[in-house]
Amino acid sequence: MKSYNIKSLPFILLMAMCTQFSVAQKKAVASKKQPNIIFILTDDLGYGDVGVFFQNLRKEKDEREEPYHLTPMLDKMAKEGAMFTNQYAAAPVCAPSRASLLSGLSQGHANVRDNQFDRALADNYTLGNVMQLSGYKTATIGKWGLQGNKKYDVLDEKWPAHPLKRGFDYYMGYISHGDGHEHYPKEGPSKQHNGGPKKVYEGYKEISEQLDKCYTGDLFTAVAKKWIVENSGKTDKPFFMYLAYDTPHAVLELPTQAYPAGGGLTGGLQWLDKPGHMINTASGKIDSWIHPDYINKTYDNDNNPKTPEVEWPNVYKRYATAVRRIDDQVGDLLKVLADLKIDDNTLVVFTSDNGPSIESYLKEPYRADFFNSFGPFDGVKRDVLEGGMRMPTIARWPSKIPAEQVIAKPSMMYDWLPTFTAMAGLPAPANSDGVSLLPILTKQGKQDTSLVYSEYFEGGRSPNYEEFAKNNRVKSRKQMQMLRVGDLVGLRYDIKSASDDFEIYDVTKDPHQTKNLATSPEMQSLQNYMKERVLQIRRSDSTAQRPYDTAAIPSVNIVKPQKGVNWESFENHYKWLPNVSHLNAVDKGSLKAIDVESVKSKKDLIYVFEGYIYVPSDGKYNFHVSTSTKAFVRIHNASVIDADYGYQANTTKANSLILKSGYHPIKIYYSYKVNSENKLDIKWGNASSNKHQTLSNDLFIDKN
């Protein structure tokens, strides 16, 4: 590699090239209208609950002891687009799963983990503000539950993480997680679970007093349709909507009546804006209507064809009706897009937040094995087994996504943030843990490999279902981890220490995770890799402690270390520090030490410095960063210092990692600004002493 000193770079020529590149890129982006995006998230819908993923197989077999329910609109959506058969939720319960989705961070980095319901979503990049910064009008409708509460957050103001403070121009729905367990906010008939009226907000205004007989799935759909109509084609801005249903969650309440006919602009659900009758299904009897396909359904409950079949228990008629209602609501939204003639340029994503629940707020219990809502897997909500994590994800974008596409490549829910920024013509923020799925969706370009990782704590055990492998029945949960590498999933339950072995399963051949391959001698290297990898891709959180938090992060081997650091520079016309993995570098070289103060450029640039730090002995090491602009630091794949979003210039940000002796890869992003002070001061040192030294002089490259 040719070596340069930043002081001597031919910047006049370089900047001319940059200008030409920038103008060409901007023209290319401007020539294509940015697509609209609707992301639909359901609550506790299992992989096996959607027809094309599993229920249709039960219908085809027609085994009378195996009841099934149908989702014709979702099946049609999948046929017209792509279905992901290996996409995972970020966590097996709603709060951490949604936090990872919204932040683009894994559960190794997201600030909401475990069962931290109502904790404030971190004040950083979110699906809302990255799309705002990309030129989109943004809205979120439905369940939030990430606004902030006294248990985890110092509340200088009410709801520090209200959706309007996290990048959304419009909000309507349930702020509180607990309120989202009720499907009739005003009447609140669900006495079994914190019954009574709930609070629905439009922005900061509480409006539930107007919402007589409003079934929330219908309410949120009517509001979503109204907002789409109001924001479609009225300005040059595209729109992004995060539509978070609170159904079919375990309250299992029923709608008031049949779904209105027609759908779209003139049919289906409609917003009437009349207090006491805000939507066109706000009449009749609440919690009363069962879908006619299920009202008289029977099944062979004792697996004996000689005895009479019995009627489905009421709780399952309710569940099937709730899922079918979601199906109708999605079909209604797609019809609106068609009526507005914007469906070709609108990506609609449908998925769920975690695996199926086994809860019921009714007196009648609910079991996920009635419909096998976990599909061909083991595990339910709160399990990091496949059934708790694998999601029924569908994406439809008629002008870009080929029809009838089945995507088997593993992916993660936090991949959607980089996907949406890529659709807007921009790279994702550098702090994102996901990758863009645009190449595999559109069949254009090379698809990056997703980081499929989760960690979670939950007391209790997995259910004792006969469909599950014996090793997965009544499985003690506690501290859990999962990591997927190719077709193999590493799984740890009831973790005691970082040295605990992973169970290893080939989930393509063994979806029920019955045969633990970890005992095979040829798996020892993968076992070691997984143990090291899960320490290198995360950062500990004092509010969600893990038994491996104090384990030292393993170092890597390099052949021929030499003092110095490699660098690349990139166009800097972004509103955040970008992930540069798919950007074209305008120049590159190597230096003996980082020296940003000596750059003489006539254009803003992003510099990315890569090398290794040498750790002389095992221990806890502190890192301090102060910069005049913005900076971001990763060691291995762990985010160590984030001085990007909201960073105040020349203040110090600090963090620490426990590191093994040896070499550790480091990547430093820095935003260079023309005609301003440019300073990047990074210090580090062993936490056992108060001595810290300049990091830029302690960097190495591998000259092999």
DSSP E strands, 565-618: 565-571, 587-591, 605-615
- Cα separation, 35 vs 22, whole angstroms: 21
Sort 517 into a burial class: Cβ within 10 Å, 0-12 / 13-18 / 19+: middle
pLDDT classification of 327: cutoffs 50, 70, 90: very high
Q: pLDDT value at position 325?
A: 98
Strands 200-202, 680-686: pairing is unpaired
3-state secondary structure of 525: helix
* Residue 263 in this model has a pLDDT that exceeds 80: yes
| pLDDT above 70 as % of the chain | 94
Mean pLDDT of the chain: 93
* Residue 19 in this model has a pLDDT that exceeds 50: no
Residues whose CB falls within 8 Å of the CB of residue 222, separated by 6 or more in sequence, listed in order: 269, 270, 271, 278, 279, 280
* Residue 190 in this model has a pLDDT that exceeds 70: no
Better pLDDT: 458 or 18 = 458
- Cα separation, 579 vs 220, whole angstroms: 34
Comparing 74-88, 153-167, 406-420, 421-435, the range with the smallest average pLDDT is 153-167
Q: pLDDT value at position 8?
A: 37
3-state secondary structure of 226: helix
Residue 262 CB neighbour total at 10 angstroms: 12
* Residue 22 in this model has a pLDDT that exceeds 70: no
Q: pLDDT value at position 152?
A: 76
* Residue 419 in this model has a pLDDT that exceeds 50: yes
Q: pLDDT value at position 155?
A: 60
Q: pLDDT value at position 196?
A: 65
At 449-460, the pLDDT tens digits run: 999 999 999 999
Per-residue CA distances from 474 to 370, 376, 466, 469, 512 (Å) = 18, 18, 11, 10, 15
Q: pLDDT value at position 597?
A: 87
Q: pLDDT value at position 194?
A: 53
Q: pLDDT value at position 655?
A: 97
* Residue 14 in this model has a pLDDT that exceeds 90: no
At 603-635, the pLDDT tens digits run: 999 999 999 999 999 999 999 999 999 999 999
- Cα separation, 62 vs 504, whole angstroms: 34
Asked whether 433 and 452 are in contact (CB, 8 A), the reply is no
Task: Give one DSSP letter per residue of 242-281, joined into a string.
Answer: EEE---SSTT----SSPPPSS-TTTSSS-B---TT--BTT
Region label for 493, one of left (φ > 0), alpha (ψ between -120 and 50) or beta (otherwise)? beta
Residue 524 CB neighbour total at 10 angstroms: 12
What tokens were used for 616?
Answer: 């002389």
At 282-310, the pLDDT tens digits run: 999 999 999 999 999 999 999 999 999 99
Helix or strand holding residue 350 (H, E): strand 346-352
At 214-232, the pLDDT tens digits run: 999 999 999 999 999 999 9
Q: pLDDT value at position 28?
A: 35
- Cα separation, 372 vs 58, whole angstroms: 10
- Cα separation, 327 vs 318, whole angstroms: 14
* Residue 6 in this model has a pLDDT that exceeds 50: no
Which domains occur in the chain, in start order?
6-28+556-702 (2.60.120.1560), 33-445 (3.40.720.10), 455-536 (3.30.1120)
* Residue 665 in this model has a pLDDT that exceeds 80: yes
Better pLDDT: 100 or 194 = 100
